[in-house]
Amino acid sequence: MAAETWPRLPMKEWQDTYDTLHMWTQIVGKIRMVSSPLINHWWEVALYVTPRGLTTSAIPHGRRSFEIAFDFIDHRLLVQTSEGAVRDLALATKSVATFYRELMALLHSLDINVEINPIPQEYPNRTPFDQDEAHASYDKDYAQRHWRILVQADRLMKEFRSSFIGKCSPVHFFWGSFDMAVTRFSGRTAPANPKAGPITREAYSHEVSSCGFWPGSGNIEDPAFYAYCAPEPPGYKESPLIPAPAFYNPPTSGYILMYDEVRSSKDPDRLVLDFFQKTYEAGAILGKWDRDILER
């Protein structure tokens, strides 16, 4: 039987699995980060949706390369190398510390020796991965539901991305904030923010209009699509272009379209694409982007 396209994903029902999986993706993402050359706006650290899960894509390692991929159908983590080696470990109920030890041992068996900062990023828990025994949940059903939503978000963001011919990010999954995003650029630098840290300073060095999906964060406790501009032009939060049922959310300085509104819609694709387009248009018009040269 075909899987549900837009499955339910209330955060309260999978919070423990979410927290554990978040840490697992951070471990994998940090392995990619320390092994890859810096690309503008931290694009070298992200993961990508596959027909079975999430992947790092090819990671350089000396004259070789390797890939780490989450498979949320068979619930395995696979490591493959350019020399033809394949290893895997089970995605199952286990602590973050156990996952960390198993993955590092697996990499070592392939003569891939990497060291990462074991402290979680963009997350309130600061327990090092190799000491984290508290997060140890893995509900296969909810992990797969989350990935199936990412498949739909990835598909729609790629369609939205296709009409923009200016600088634009790939559609990618950021393990720090556990969200999927695609970002358009006006072509102009952004005013320097003296309070920005190294991550945000690099991420927002230029004017952007970004949209994405997350499973819940901050005062938005359930899954939602989001959109924002940085810097935000005056009048953006009151724009009449934004379609209902989207709303402006001050804590995140951007617009929110709740996922449950999408899954109950008669035309989910149209609702999401309209949300992406109208939030972009609002920011581009108010920010005086040169749309004639940026759009197809």
Asked, for residue 233, whether it belongs to a domain, the answer is yes
Asked, for residue 3, whether it belongs to a domain, the answer is no
Asked, for residue 7, whether it belongs to a domain, the answer is no
Residues 171, 122: one domain?
Answer: no
Q: Tell me: the pLDDT tens digits for 96-128?
A: 999 999 999 999 999 999 999 999 998 988 999
Angle at 27 between CA 25 and CA 31, to 5 degrees: 115
Question: Taking 90 as the threshold, does the pLDDT of residue 282 lie above it?
Answer: yes
Residues 90, 155: one domain?
Answer: no
Question: Taking 90 as the threshold, does the pLDDT of residue 191 lie above it?
Answer: no
Q: Which residues are CB-contacts of 176 (< 8 A; sequence separation ≥ 6)? A: 26, 29, 45, 121, 122, 123, 199
What's the mean pLDDT when you consider all of the chain?
Answer: 95
Asked, for residue 138, whether it belongs to a domain, the answer is no
* Per-position DSSP letters for 256-291, written without gaps between them: EEEHHHHHTSS-HHHHHHHHHHHHHHHHHHHTT--H
Q: Helix, strand, or coil here: 210?
A: strand
Q: Tell me: the pLDDT tens digits for 170-187?
A: 999 999 999 999 999 999
Return the pLDDT at 218.
85
Residues 42, 125: one domain?
Answer: yes
CA dihedral angle for residue 179, residue 181, residue 186, residue 191, rounded to 10 degrees: 10
Residues 169, 235: one domain?
Answer: yes
Q: Which residue has the higher pLDDT, 2 or 272?
A: 272
Residues 121, 152: one domain?
Answer: no
Return the pLDDT at 1.
41
Mean pLDDT value across residues 3-32: 96
Chain-centroid distance, C-alpha 180 = 3
Residues 235, 283: one domain?
Answer: yes
State which residues form the domain around 30: 12-131
Residues 288, 182: one domain?
Answer: yes
Return the pLDDT at 198.
74
Residues 149, 107: one domain?
Answer: no
Q: Which residue has the higher pLDDT, 269 or 205?
A: 269
Asked, for residue 1, whether it belongs to a domain, the answer is no
Residues 206, 92: one domain?
Answer: no
Asked, for residue 256, whether it belongs to a domain, the answer is yes
Asked, for residue 5, whether it belongs to a domain, the answer is no
Token representation of residue 168: 């634009």
Asked, for residue 2, whether it belongs to a domain, the answer is no
The pLDDT confidence band at residue 2, using thresholds 50, 70 and 90, is: low
Question: Taking 60 as the threshold, does the pLDDT of residue 3 lie above it?
Answer: yes
Q: What is the DSSP letter of 41?
A: G
Residue ending a domain, among 131, 165, 183, is: 131
Complete edge-to-edge strand list for the sheet that includes strand 179-189: 172-174, 179-189, 206-214, 224-230, 254-258, 247-249
Quote the number of domains for the chain.
Answer: 2
Residues 262, 159: one domain?
Answer: yes
Return the pLDDT at 196.
73
Q: Tell me: the pLDDT tens digits for 138-176?
A: 999 999 999 999 999 999 999 999 999 999 999 999 999
Residue ending a domain, among 131, 159, 187, is: 131
Residues 66, 165: one domain?
Answer: no
Q: Tell me: the pLDDT tens digits for 202-258?
A: 788 899 999 999 999 889 999 999 999 999 999 999 999 998 999 999 999 999 999
Model's pTM, two decimal places?
0.95
Q: Tell me: the pLDDT tens digits for 43-68?
A: 999 999 999 999 999 999 999 999 99
Return the pLDDT at 200.
78
Residues 90, 187: one domain?
Answer: no
